[in-house]
Chains A and B, each alone.
Chain A
Amino acid sequence: MSWIRRHLLAFAALAVLFYMLIPNVVVAIFSFNNPKGRYNYQWTEFSTEAWQNPCGTPGICESLGLSLRIGIVASLVATVLGTMVAFALGRHRFRGRAGTNLLIFMPMATPEVVMGSSLLTLFVMMGLPSGGGAILIAHIMFCLSFVVVAVKARVASLDPRLEEAAADLGANPVQTFMRVTLPLAAPGIAAGALLAFSLSFDDYIITNFNASPSSITFPMYVWGASTRGTPVQINVIGTIMFLIALLVVVTGQVLSNRRQKAA
């Protein structure tokens, strides 16, 4: 009994972790299902059919491709713009600092449904068409703040004496930035880019307000499927995504551990 008491915290922590991971386990198990009806909610029998043919349902891989393209472009643009803002905030004194911080903070304090619908009203009033371009604009907007925060945390922790040392050794500002500052800030930038990609790739609510019938992203495909019938391929792709995410996160951990040991 006292052993249980001593490990109560560990049990609580594991129970919460279980709660967080059980949907992923269910998704993986049901990717091997062969459902009777259109919905893949009841276990029927084991089958690897969907794994052999992950694109076997019309539209699914097209939507996945669109989400990947939007995610890559949106995270690239948001990372470049966000990193610039983060350097300004972390490395310079200037007037309008508080206003800048507020503008960066606001999109994170606004519910997605408000951002999505307000962009819709902008595009309607400007007569801009909804679709891939509108989605891209929206994604860059809401990813930007998260990149700024991720990169700023890193930039703020850099030792300014390293840059001064480079300058003392005769490096010009561009050389100092390219050879010293940027490599040191790289982990923060990579983290920001990864976060931006995952936010963009996974967004449904904002995307939904700015999409057209010809721009169905993967989350929109899944949402549509939840009312039409869920193909097993959704679970296969969900499982593959989980495994890739696991791989990326583990690689990141190993890299940052190695960095720490080297340093």
Chain B
Amino acid sequence: MASVSTGAAHPLSTGASAPPERRRSNWVPYALLLPGLLWLTVFFVVPMVTLFSQSLQEGSVDEGYTFTGNIGIYAEALQGYFPQLLRSIGYAASATVLALLLGYPLAYFMALRAGRWKNILLVLVIAPFFTSFLIRTLAWQTILSDSSIVTETARAIGLTDLLQAVGLTGNDNLMASKFAVICGLTYNFLPFMILPLYSSLERLDPRLVEAAGDLYASPAQGFRYVTWPLSLPGVVAGTLLTFIPAAGDFINSKLLGNTQTVMIGQVIDAQFLRVLNYPLAAALSFVLLVLILLLVSAYVRKAGTEELV
């Protein structure tokens, strides 16, 4: 299953170098690409066009829609749901930072210190990922419920007071709060952070860190100037794989949050499937897509990793 880990670990690295020239005739690659790319074009690219078109239509589900080019819907969407949009980005960013802080030590330990325990740890990281995440999120309702051991302990050590003071919870409970939603998001996407980190740390040559030590670098300097830069591809891949799904998620905010923690995904879901306001929902969905693409491309450019597309 080491192969699963490497497979899941590099969803973003598409490899910069092209393979060497082959003798085969040049229609072969196109024949191989055709069905897959056709599928992605028809069921991924075309829907983006219909989504945009839907946002500029007016009408109702029963009477049908006509295209009117109603750009005003975007002003309406932004005006009405700016807080939810901002909140989604904020929660996703917090969860990403937390996942990096939690995931890095575990990935580092697995890759460089675990020895013969490495494979067992890898199994324990991957296995929960293969079990229904809805069921696991429901388990957090039990873990964080008002009379659970965790909540009682948090009360006893004054953690609930602290969380309330900084505004992450609204009372002396843990459930149905910002805190619970961010905890849930962090938990949910942690494997997506750990696996890319692990695979880039695993390829790190420990002799480089030793060399830094031989040249009188302190362990902290060795980490800062050798380990961390070499693990950057994993950090970039991991943060993207955590941030993107977290920003659009509504499972955690709905199951673990309250009416003050509504995220944009929840609004899109409700507008599409309950309110049936397709144009507004499509506009919100499109805004989310554009926002994420802008953030991701700015981030990738800044991180400057050539391994990414």
Contacts and interface: CB of A to CB of B under 8 A. Distances in A.
A142 B81 CA distance: 27
A89 B309 CA distance: 13
Contacts of B108: 9, 13
A81 B36 contact: yes
B289 A111 contact: yes
By Cβ-Cβ distance, the 6 closest A-B pairs, closest first, are A111-B248, A150-B7, A252-B1, A245-B130, A118-B47, A13-B109
Contacts of B126: 245, 249
Interface string B6-43: 11101111110011111010101110110111011101
B32 A84 contact: yes
B223 to A, nearest CB: 11
A133 to B, nearest CB: 12
A223 B309 CA distance: 35
Contact of A113 (B13, B30, B33, B285): B285
Contacts of B119: 253, 257
B168 to A, nearest CB: 17
A162 interface: no
A107 B47 CA distance: 12
Nearest to B271: A117
Contacts of A195: 4, 7-8
Given A93-B22, A115-B44, A23 B2 contact: no
Interface residues of B, number: 105
A238 B167 CA distance: 34
Nearest to B135: A238
Nearest to A260: B2
B190 A121 contact: no
B212 interface: no
A146 B12 CA distance: 9
Contacts of A125: 50, 53-54
A124 B60 CA distance: 12
Nearest to A257: B119
A208 B269 contact: yes
Interface in A1-60: 9-10, 12-13, 16-17, 19-24, 26-27, 30, 41-42
Contact of B135 (A27, A152, A154): A27
Among A107, A108, A230, residue most surrounded by chain B Cβ atoms (within 10 Å): A108
B22 to A, nearest CB: 6
A238 B131 contact: yes
Interface stretch (B70-78, B140-148, B200-208, B225-233): B140-148
Given A100-B33, A117-B51, A160-B20, 17 more contacts: A9-B113, A13-B110, A17-B125, A27-B135, A41-B141, A98-B309, A103-B40, A110-B44, A112-B245, A112-B248, A113-B250, A114-B288, A122-B43, A124-B54, A153-B6, A195-B8, A218-B132
Interface string A129-164: 000000001101100111011111110100010000
Given A91-B22, A113-B285, A250 B123 contact: yes
Contacts of B47: 115, 118-119, 121-122
B132 A241 contact: yes
Contacts of B292: 109-111
Contacts of B44: 103, 106-107, 110, 115, 141
Interface size of A as a range: 35 or more
Interface in B115-130: 119, 121-130
A241 B226 CA distance: 41
B138 A121 contact: no
8 contacts: A12-B109, A21-B124, A117-B272, A117-B281, A121-B47, A141-B40, A156-B15, A235-B135
B143 to A, nearest CB: 6
Contacts of B10: 149, 153
B11 A145 contact: yes
Given A17-B125, A249-B1, A23 B140 contact: yes
A141 B285 CA distance: 18
A23 B8 contact: no
B70 to A, nearest CB: 15
Given A208-B269, A238-B132, A87 B43 contact: no
A94 B4 CA distance: 28
A62 interface: no
Interface string A226-263: 10001000110010011001101111110011000000
Among A89, A90, A97, A113, residue most surrounded by chain B Cβ atoms (within 10 Å): A113
Contacts of A104: 14, 40
A173 interface: yes
A107 B11 CA distance: 11
B36 A82 contact: yes
Contacts of B113: 9-10
A246 B106 contact: no
A12 B109 CA distance: 9
Interface in B256-307: 264-265, 268-269, 272-273, 278, 281-282, 285-286, 288-289, 292-293, 296
B236 interface: no
A246 B7 contact: no
B235 interface: no
B165 interface: no
